[in-house]
């Protein structure tokens, strides 16, 4: 472990532990912003461990990919907030900052951790060689599965909107089926391409990363005074922290969704991915800079619009 990498991991661990110590001690500001401090502390810590094992990490060596991922992560999660507002009504927020601009900024800082948290955890498992070889019978090469995936993904997104009380869990896998054919066709990292080669290691590590992140999300939400609260139509008991136990089944699927979504988003960078082997390698022409700027502004406008709606519908109380 070189000195810079050692400090990198220790910095994240110190932030993570400092946030937990102050939150448990009842320090008001720490409890209010615990989630943001704890998640960024964990991400920096895990990324430092990846750097120490592989010599290459997302925050240290792939800053452009990381910045893109963090920005995209906000709109990625606000999409699910919009679905929750439109139909699901599965969660609301309590104890958040009273000042609007501070609350909205805090939401962006929190939601920017979603994709990095899952994918850095996946990288950490990969660096340790967890589930290094998971072989399966290769699928036949071809694209005949595209229409079936599009139809399945469309139904998984439509049914929760129409009958949320019955089908609300399906939203946590819909984007996998909608985006995976796009990734496969345009040369982005593709889980189905892996399966056609008989390799399920990435898929299985993602499932494990999702389970780990689910426990972290819920434990860190539990220690925060600004938190989300679940109101599921069914399966509300028993609970681990504040999350219904059955709800943890959704986190592995959500991690797969994060990976597939990030692979699709990489097409906006000319196919440059976020991993060590592909973050500089363009596989197709990138959109012009002006188009990306317009898209970034549209994404930010989308985020702010959803935040406005959240203030009207799912923000139930403010910090004292």
| String of DSSP letters for 7-55 | HHHHHHHHHHHHHHHHHHTT-HHHHHTHHHHHHHHHHHHHHHHHHHHHS
Residue 4, pLDDT score: 53
15-19: long-range contacts, CB 8 A cutoff, minimum separation 24: 15/40, 15/41, 15/44, 15/45, 16/41, 16/42, 16/45, 17/41
User: Does 260 have pLDDT greater than 70?
Assistant: yes
Residue 300 to residues 80, 115, 122, 137, 313, Cα–Cα distance (Å): 15, 17, 27, 43, 20
Encode pLDDT of 38-84 as tens digits. 999 999 999 999 999 999 999 999 999 999 999 999 999 999 999 99
Bond from prior residue into 238 cis (ω within 30 degrees of 0): yes
Domain boundaries, the chain: 62-313
pTM, rounded to two decimals: 0.94
Which band of pLDDT confidence, cut at 50, 70 and 90, is reported for residue 197? very high
Residue 242, pLDDT score: 83
Contact predicate 73/274, CB 8 Å: no
* Residue that has been written with the tokens 């110190």 in this structure: 14
* Residue that has been written with the tokens 């679905």 in this structure: 83
Residue 5, pLDDT score: 55
User: Does 258 have pLDDT greater than 90?
Assistant: yes
Residue 1, pLDDT score: 47
User: Does 235 have pLDDT greater than 80?
Assistant: no
- CA angle, corner 251, sides to 26 and 226, nearest 5? 25
Q: Which of 35-39, 132-136, 218-222 has the lowest mean pLDDT?
A: 132-136
User: Does 2 have pLDDT greater than 60?
Assistant: no
User: Does 122 have pLDDT greater than 50?
Assistant: yes
User: Does 255 have pLDDT greater than 80?
Assistant: yes
């Amino acid at each position: 472990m070189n000195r810079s990498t050692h400090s990198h991991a220790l910095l994240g661990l110190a932030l993570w532990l400092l946030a937990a110590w102050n939150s448990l001690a009842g320090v008001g500001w720490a409890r209010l912003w615990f989630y943001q401090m704890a998640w960024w502390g964990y991400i920096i810590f895990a990324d430092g461990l990846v750097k120490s094992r592989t010599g290459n990490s997302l925050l240290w060596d792939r800053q452009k990919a990381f910045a893109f991922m963090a920005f995209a992560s906000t709109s990625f999660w606000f999409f699910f907030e919009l679905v929750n507002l439109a139909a699901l009504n599965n969660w609301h927020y309590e104890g958040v900052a009273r000042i609007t601009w501070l609350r909205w900024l805090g939401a962006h800082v929190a939601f920017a951790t979603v994709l990095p948290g899952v994918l850095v955890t996946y990288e950490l498992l990969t660096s340790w060689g967890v589930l290094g070889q998971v072989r399966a019978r290769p699928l036949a090469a071809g694209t005949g599965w595209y229409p079936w995936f599009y139809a399945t993904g469309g139904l998984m997104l439509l049914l929760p909107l129409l009958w949320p009380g019955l089908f609300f869990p399906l939203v946590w896998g819909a984007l996998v089926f909608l985006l995976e054919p796009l990734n496969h066709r345009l040369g982005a990292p593709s889980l189905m391409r892996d399966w056609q080669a008989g390799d399920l290691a990435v898929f299985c590590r993602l499932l494990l990363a999702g389970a780990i992140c689910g426990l972290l999300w819920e434990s860190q939400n539990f220690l925060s005074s600004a938190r989300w609260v679940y109101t599921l139509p069914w399966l509300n008991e028993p609970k681990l922290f504040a999350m219904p136990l059955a709800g943890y089944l959704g986190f592995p699927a959500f991690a797969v969704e994060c990976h597939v979504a990030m692979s699709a988003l990489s097409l906006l960078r000319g196919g440059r991915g976020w991993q060590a082997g592909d973050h500089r390698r363009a596989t197709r022409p990138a959109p012009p800079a002006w188009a990306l700027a317009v898209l970034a502004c549209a994404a930010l406008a989308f985020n702010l619009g959803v935040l406005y709606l959240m203030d009207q519908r799912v923000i139930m109380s403010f910090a004292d």
